[in-house]
Structure 1
Amino acid sequence: MAEDRTVVEIDGRRVSLSHLGRLLYPGSGTTKAGVLHYYTQVAPALLPHLADRPASFLRCPDGVDGERFWAKNIPLGAPDWIPTLDVVHHAGSTRQIVLADLATLMWSANLSNLEIHVPQWRIAPELHDRLVVDLDPGEGTTMLHCCAAALAVRQALERDGLRAWPKTSGSKGLHLGVPLRPTAAGRVSRYAERLARRLATDLPELIVSRMAVEARRGRVFLDWSQNASAKTTVAPYSLRARSVPTVSAPVTWAEVADCRDPAGLVFTADQVAERLARDGDLWAQLTDPEAAQELPAG
């Protein structure tokens, strides 16, 4: 039997693609070829959000119903042209992939790295260029509660002179991104914690800032810890490893404010590709140096 493998040339790089008919999302019938096609469609918007950031992946070699595991270190046998970054942490160091171009993205997607997660910093973990507000619905709450919390967070940020852009997590919640001028990591984390505690005090029936599971019931958890240098957040336009290929999708504030059905802010790969073609990158400001902001003093 002939091996299910083809070699394509992308920007002068030879990329080997294999098992293109493998079913990765049984719930939608999406194959590896479909995943590769999606990432090709969104690459012009996705790649700027990944530039200079070490990537972590949720890898599902046999699809979302099979074994899954986190992958950080560059795998053995990777082409020597794959860009990497050495990341030092308390347990040692990892040599991680940087998805700098379409060839690298396609090579990575061919490994069934369905989800792409990146930190809030580029190159140097001690300087962050992004604040993320992670809104996670607790037991008994839905996306509608997340939308209400997001609007409250938006107001609080505006009072501090900061603009934020929303996206879905592709799972249950919302993320708000705030582009920053390079800022000391500790300062960003401290601001995120103060913001979360302030909102939890002002809106105790809606928002909680404590991580304990029992504290989250009936409320939205504002996970300020996502701003630690060691933490990562799913990238905009990344697929999620759920029953169907949902996506962490940038949305407008009008969509957040007008949402009346939790399903209204769930987007699949096909829908996101259509939205991107129609609306452009709704998170483009997060990669625009002119949009970078200064955290308030304190």
Structure 2
Amino acid sequence: MAKDAYVAAGDREVRISSPDRVIYEATDRTPAITKLDVCEFFATVGAGLMRALGERPTALERWPSGVREGYRLATSTTQKDAEAFYQKRVPKGAPDYLETVTVTFPSGRTADEVCPTEAAVPVWCAQMGTLTFHPWPVRRADVDRPDELRIDLDPQPGTGFADARRVAAVADELLRELGIVGYPKTSGNRGIHIYVRIRPEWSFEEVRHAAIGFGRELERRDGGVTTAWWKEERGQRIFVDYNQNNRDRTIASAYSLRPRPGAPVSTPLTWAELAELDDPRGLNIVTVPDRLADADPWAGIDEVAHELTPLLRLWEELPGGELNFPPDYPKMPGEPPRVQPSKKVAGHWDDDGNRIER
């Protein structure tokens, strides 16, 4: 068995046990990737990663046995037979330099989550099997006021990365018209994420409404876009997942690894780079560190925090009203019925979306 290794991260050295454990098997694009490789990757991209995670409550997506075909990620705390899981509370054995922040879930329950404040923290999380970091869109100074709007362009069956890239260009044009600068990144799969720094002056609900308004304007400009919550209504279009802006809804951070063959990375890009990108799989644990030797495309993301008002105006002016929340949320004011449209019987629901008991 290989001896422990040590990875320098900031002013610390983080001990790595089982450094030779293979986390990603070799592919035609990449060699076998070990646990030590993963930890060294997060140390190498530390500045960009901390720009995404710093001072944010962060859930961990842990794959302690690595990534293999057939391995599954648990989607609930009751699922015990999966090989990977989400860690929302601070793992046991955390080092004394790891700081925390308390967050409140939609249920009203609270938890202390990891709050990265230095580059050694994500490396230690990788030592614990973390591949993907899921930061909240808030800083610990105010965990109820987001400072990020996240536009998630999610390809539906029959669409792909090229469709998401086309819609992203429309989104960039719209943001610029509104005087807003967006920062794109690959999702690590077929999707594209666009981040906008905003002033922490609005609630989660208001930021979600801004995302809906933005999505509806994209629908108006491009027939290949949808904000339909129900999959049966989306068709072969790019879904703007507005609910990713809800409390306790997170997206894989910039410079996170994704649990897919070839160790793809959710990679920040310039808009010009995105326009030229055909295959996001080329952005992986092997290739991404070289990109940072020149510059991080998101280096200036914190320089300007935008007003949300122009997007809230779209929410107010465009027709459509409230949309569905995720199923684990309590029933929200004005929300449509939580039943698939194909199964809805109109007479069973009142005008406010509440079921009429008979």
Paired residue for 1:246, among 241, 245, 264?
264
One-letter identity of the residue aligned with 1:50:
L
| 3-state DSSP of counterpart to 2:309 | coil
Q: How far has the Cα of 1:216 moved from its partner?
A: 2.9
Paired residue for 1:103, among 98, 109, 120?
120
One-letter identity of the residue aligned with 2:299:
A
Q: Distance in 2 between matches of 1:203 and 1:53?
A: 34
Q: Would you say how many aligned residue pairs link Structure 1 and Structure 2?
A: 291
Q: How far has the Cα of 1:33 moved from its partner?
A: 0.8
The equivalent of 1:82 in structure 2 is: 98
One-letter identity of the residue aligned with 2:285:
A
The equivalent of 2:211 in structure 1 is: 192
Q: How far has the Cα of 1:10 moved from its partner?
A: 5.4
One-letter identity of the residue aligned with 2:225:
I
Q: Distance in 1 between matches of 2:207 and 2:9?
A: 38
The equivalent of 2:54 in structure 1 is: 51
Structure 2 gaps of 5+ residues are 72-82, 314-358
Q: How far has the Cα of 1:14 moved from its partner?
A: 6.0
Paired residue for 1:226, among 217, 234, 244?
244
One-letter identity of the residue aligned with 2:104:
V
Change (3 A) 1:20 1:208: same
Q: How far has the Cα of 1:59 moved from its partner?
A: 0.5
Deviations along 1:1-24, one digit per CA (max 9) or x if unpaired, are x77434667556563320000000
One-letter identity of the residue aligned with 1:276:
L
Change (3 A) 1:10 1:191: closer
Once the two structures are aligned, what percentage of the paired residues are identical? 31
User: CA contact under 8 A between 2:255 and 2:266: conserved in structure 1?
Assistant: yes
Change (3 A) 1:8 1:225: closer
C-alpha root-mean-square deviation of aligned residues, in Å?
1.9
**Which is richer in helix?**
1
Larger Rg, first or second structure (1 or 2): 2
Q: Distance in 2 between matches of 1:86 and 1:129?
A: 17
Change (3 A) 1:96 1:254: same
Change (3 A) 1:8 1:156: closer
Q: Tell which deviates more after alignment, 237-246 or 176-185.
A: 176-185
The equivalent of 2:193 in structure 1 is: 175
User: CA contact under 8 A between 1:161 and 1:296: conserved in structure 2?
Assistant: no
Q: Distance in 1 between matches of 2:89 and 2:308?
A: 33
* 2:284 counterpart of 1:271: no
Q: How far has the Cα of 1:125 moved from its partner?
A: 2.9
One-letter identity of the residue aligned with 1:242:
R
User: CA contact under 8 A between 1:139 and 1:216: conserved in structure 2?
Assistant: no
Q: Tell which deviates more after alignment, 71-80 or 236-245.
A: 71-80
After TM superposition, list the pairs within 5 Å mapping 1:1-298 onto structure 2. 4-6=3-5, 13=12, 15-27=14-26, 28-65=31-68, 66=71, 67-91=83-107, 92-123=109-140, 124-185=142-203, 186-204=205-223, 206-259=224-277, 261=278, 263=279, 266-278=282-294, 280-288=295-303, 291-297=304-310, 298=313
User: CA contact under 8 A between 2:105 and 2:247: conserved in structure 1?
Assistant: no
One-letter identity of the residue aligned with 1:159:
E
Q: Tell which deviates more after alignment, 13-22 or 188-197.
A: 13-22
Q: How far has the Cα of 1:203 moved from its partner?
A: 2.1
| 3-state DSSP of counterpart to 1:218 | coil
Deviations along 1:46-68, one digit per CA (max 9) or x if unpaired, are 11221110111110011012411
Q: Distance in 1 between matches of 2:190 and 2:9?
A: 35
User: CA contact under 8 A between 1:121 and 1:229: conserved in structure 2?
Assistant: no
TM-score, with length taken from structure 2: 0.76
**Which is richer in strand?**
1
Q: Distance in 2 between matches of 1:254 and 1:42?
A: 22
Q: How far has the Cα of 1:77 moved from its partner?
A: 2.0
4+ aligned runs moved over 3 Å, structure 1: 6-15
| 3-state DSSP of counterpart to 1:285 | coil
User: CA contact under 8 A between 1:49 and 1:287: conserved in structure 2?
Assistant: no
Change (3 A) 1:8 1:176: closer
Using CA pairs below 8 Å that are at least 6 residues apart, which structure has the higher relative contact order? 1
Change (3 A) 1:11 1:207: closer
One-letter identity of the residue aligned with 1:189:
R
